[in-house]
Structures are given as structure tokens and as C-alpha cells.
Amino acid sequence: MASHRLTLLAAVAAMLLPSTHAVAAGPAGPATVRIDTGPVEGRTLSSGVTAYLGIPYAAPPVRELRWREPQPVQPWTDVFHADRFGPQCMQPQRNPLGNQYSGAEITSEDCLTLNVWTRSGLKRAPVIVYIHGGGFFIGASSMALYGGETVAREGGVFVNLNYRLGVLGFMAHPELSAETPDKTSGNYGFLDQIAALQWVKRNIARFGGDPDNVTIAGQSAGSMSVLALQASPLAKGLFHRAVGMSGATMGGPIGLGTLAAAEAEGVKLQAYLKAKSLADLRNVPADRLQLPRVPGGPTVGASVDGRVLTDQPEAVFARSAQNDVPLLLGFAKDESFGGIGAVAGLDDYRAKVATRFGDRAGEFLALYPAASDAEAKAQATAADRDATMALAMSAWATAQTRHGKAPVYSYEFARAHSYAPGVTFSDLDPATAGAYHTSEVPFWLGTLDSFNRYRHTRDWTPADRAFSRAMTRALVSFARTGKPISADMTWPTFDPAKPRLVLLGATMAEASWPDERKFAFFRSVARQPATGGALRD
């Protein structure tokens, strides 16, 4: 078979990957589709869904292609066996038993692959392209949390993808900028996402999908990616609806740095690695290209590079220059980053508020009053959520409503997971987690059982499963029509003057957004660049 498939290391890595959520579901036989680079053979599962895994959408970004735009895949003639995921992009490894999302998998710099789930009989079906989160430095399309079998059963064609992360995905450098006609560098992860969308436009009809009805969706850094694509002129015409879950680089504390600042960080990283030239940097082993965890050390992240992103998203929307598509946006009730953090009780709450806000502490306490330890803990969480995710998602919804024609629908996810008795995690307390950051994803995608992949951590109830089915159907209906449809309620459109959302808790119900006065208070908080690791799932 032609050498396009994977480099030797990546091929070995792919063979060593553990059984995936698609293959483990009970394969019933092969199914072959011819795409623009050659024939691919997937596996038809017992559910009737066919999964095509690990399809390369760009050439391996290695050696001279490191820190360059994704390049076309070399065509092949033999059948490409798309029966296993490709390696995840370079990232720190995680403990499969301690981490609730996924196990450690083989990583490779040769990682630009995507996966497609579809079923027989689909023609011009709505397409959902899901972009994983992970703070732009961890995550992979192979994570069971992001599987597409349920969406395909509901009548959508589901695609997810790997994109370059961390240093390999977002480092800018003056010498890299000098190499390009646009004199810019960085944001390679976004360029990968755009290349994947171009692949979808060329090929998805062969899988029963409609290239003129593509919805991009993502959570956390994946949601920030969705916003970046909506603001990017390079993504124009590649998607027609967008879903953002808990992540936006506008309005809130996380923003985009300048190209000059990003280049300066690249120079710092070069010095840290003791590389004398760009050629030396391209020869550094990929597993050494990790950011040092030291105060004042170099950082990398998304930036306004002048090409992928020509301006801050707020400015793009203010000119009505965004890709004007219907939006479905939301946040989780109990997610929080930074702010005053967890508190032990009322006295600790007041002390931390005084430290954090100084002479504005009284103003804060008027917005988030507490008279008991329980109230203090709840208000601390609510304030941290409002200061970050809720504020940012509100800003995105408001910008689209004021400067675009397409409607916005919104939600707050407030349903706690059903945990197995006695289960513990290194990074989450089931007793207090509530609706934490990322907790809505398995309900939207119908991947509840992904949490029991390595060990039994969830005891999902029939009500949980029914609620997930309702959410998945609302997502697919939004992808199909531009409007989320639920059996027992009508979703309100977002109105900045009186914002309403759908509360996804014990049931689906209409509710209000957090008080605008709270958002106004937090808008004065200094913004931080969206550097790798700034926001973790």
C-alpha cells in the first residue's frame, strides 16, 4: 500500500491502541467508500452504524512540514482499512484509571486523522463536525466521550478530528513568520480544523452527508475553536451552523494575544530548548516539545495572527464580518475557573472576596450574598461560573444577535451525573461536582457509557438515558434545521434585552440567564491570553 497511510511510528502506534468504543460495539462487517484520495473500508456495527476511523485528512506534519500549514494527503490505490483510530497528537500522557475521560494512548506527531460515523440509507443528512476540548494541549478524537454512533443512529453523519496541540499546534516564531507569504505563524491547530472542514466539503456526500449542511460543534477549547472558525475568513462557506459549549475568547477572562507577543514566546521557548536555529527546532524530538512548568516560562496559545484570525472576535462581530450562522450556545451550572475558588465556609468566603476584589468586595457581596456556609459555597461556585463561562458565552450570543441575522439558542446544563457507589477520582469529588465542566458532553452526544470504559464509574438511570436521547435529538434537529427541537417545549431565541435559555436539569425548562449586573461587574476583570493549558477539561 502507498506510504501515505502513516509514518512507521504512527502505524505501530495505531496497531497498539486499545479497543475503541466503535469497534467494541460489535462489528458486523466491512463497508467501502471511495473518497478523493482512494478507497476506505470501515466497519459496520451491530447497531447498523458504520464507523470509518483514522482517515488521514492532511499529510503528516513532520520534519520540514512541522509548523507549516497542513498539506494534501498523497493519494493511494489499495484499500485503506479505516478500522482503528489514528494516534492522538503529541500531548502529556494521563492515567487511565485516575482520569475519568480516557486512558493514555500512543501519541505521534503524525496525527492528522478524522473519523466518520454514518448509517446506510442516509442521503444529504445533516453533518456534525465535533472539535475536542482540552485547553489546546490535551485531548483526542479517539476519546470514547466523543464517539458518533448515537448521533448517526439519530440520522446525522458525525465527524470528529485530531488537530495539532500545544507547541506543535500553536507556537509562533519570527523565523516561522518570515517563511510565509503572509508573514505570520502559529494557529496551526486552527488551520488543521479548517483542512478537516475542507475534507468534509469534498468527501462527506460519499458517506450520506450533505456538504451544504455542516454544523461545527465543540466544548471548552473545542468551543473556542468554533468561535475562531466563525470569526475566520478562511472558514467561510465551510459550515452552516455552530454549537459552542463552555468556551469563548470574547467578553470573559480568556482572550487572544497578538502575533508579536506569540512570536516572543516562541523565541523564549527556543532559548529554553537551546536550539540555535529554526532548523534545530524542527529537529527537536516531538516528545521534548513540552512547555516547562516554571514561573515566567514560555507559553503558547491561539493568537490574532493576521490570517486565520485577522482581529479579535469582538471586533470581527462588531463589523458584522463573522460567518453568520445559527448558533446553539451554553454553559454548565457548576463549572468554574479561577475567581475566588472553592471556599470552606462563610468566613473563608468573605475573606477570599476581600482579597480578590479589595475595595469592590462590598459590591460583589451585594450581587452574591451569603448568610451561611452552604450559601457561601454555592455563591462562590456561581460567581466563578458567571465570571468565566457564562460571561463569555453571553458575550458571544449577544454579539451574534446584535451584529448578525442568524438566530441564537442557548442553554444551561444543570444535571449532575449518577455515580457508582464509592467511586473516587483524583480530579473530581462526586459529592460536590454538580454539573461540572464537560459534564454535558455525554448527554449531547449520547456517550454516557464512555465513563465506564475502563472501570465502572457511573450508574446511569433510565431517566438519565432518556434525557440524553432528548438532548441528542435536539442537537441533530439543530444540525438539520438550524433550530433545536424538543418534544415538550419550544426553545426561545436569545434576546440581549431579556435573555432566556433552556435549563437542562431534572427536565427541560425555560429559564433566565444570570443577571446582567453580575456580568457588568466582571467585565472589568483583566483578560488572560488563551495559552495552552489555560483551560482544562
In the chain, where are the structural domains located? 8-529
Residue 230 in this model has a pLDDT that exceeds 60: yes
**What's the rounded Cα separation, in Å, for the pair 182 and 471?**
43
Residue-wise pLDDT tens digits, 491-518: 999 999 999 999 999 999 999 999 999 9
Beta carbons of 496 and 398 less than 8 angstroms apart: yes
How is residue 145 annotated by DSSP?
Answer: G
Catalytic (active-site) positions: 220, 335, 437
Beta carbons of 396 and 251 less than 8 angstroms apart: yes
pLDDT of residue 21: 44
pLDDT of residue 19: 34
Q: How far is CA 328 from the centre of its chain?
A: 14
**CA dist 509 → 214, 411, 414, 490, 504 (Å):** 28, 10, 11, 9, 7
Instruction: Could you please state the CATH topology (level 3) that the domain comprising 8-529 is classified under.
Output: Rossmann fold (3.40.50)
What is the percent of the chain with per-residue pLDDT over 70, rounded to a whole number?
90
pLDDT of residue 352: 97
Q: What is the pLDDT confidence band of residue 346, given thresholds at 50, 70 and 90?
A: very high
Question: Is residue 513 classed as helix, strand or coil in its secondary structure?
Answer: coil
To the question of pTM greater than 0.85 for the whole model, the response is yes
Region 260-277: what's the mean pLDDT? 96
How is residue 89 annotated by DSSP?
Answer: P
Instruction: Choose between 380 and 488: higher pLDDT.
Output: 380
pLDDT of residue 536: 42
Beta carbons of 363 and 313 less than 8 angstroms apart: no
Residue 1 in this model has a pLDDT that exceeds 50: no
pLDDT of residue 13: 34
Beta carbons of 18 and 89 less than 8 angstroms apart: no
Beta carbons of 298 and 265 less than 8 angstroms apart: yes
Residue-wise pLDDT tens digits, 403-453: 999 999 999 999 999 999 999 988 889 999 999 999 999 999 999 999 998
**What's the rounded Cα separation, in Å, for the pair 163 and 234?**
16
Residue found by looking up cell 450574598 in the block: 369
Residue 530 in this model has a pLDDT that exceeds 70: no
**What's the rounded Cα separation, in Å, for the pair 494 and 357?**
31
Region 21-27: what's the mean pLDDT? 43
**What's the rounded Cα separation, in Å, for the pair 485 and 501?**
14
Which set of grid coordinates corresponds to residue 13?
Answer: 502506534
pLDDT of residue 103: 44
Question: Is residue 390 classed as helix, strand or coil in its secondary structure?
Answer: helix
Region 45-71: what's the mean pLDDT? 98
536 burial level (CB within 10 Å; 0-12, 13-18, 19+): middle
How is residue 387 annotated by DSSP?
Answer: I
Smallest CA-to-CA distance from 173 within 194, 187, 162 is with 187
pLDDT of residue 16: 31
pLDDT of residue 426: 83
pLDDT of residue 254: 76
**What's the rounded Cα separation, in Å, for the pair 141 and 162?**
6
For all residues of the chain together, what is the average pLDDT? Answer: 91
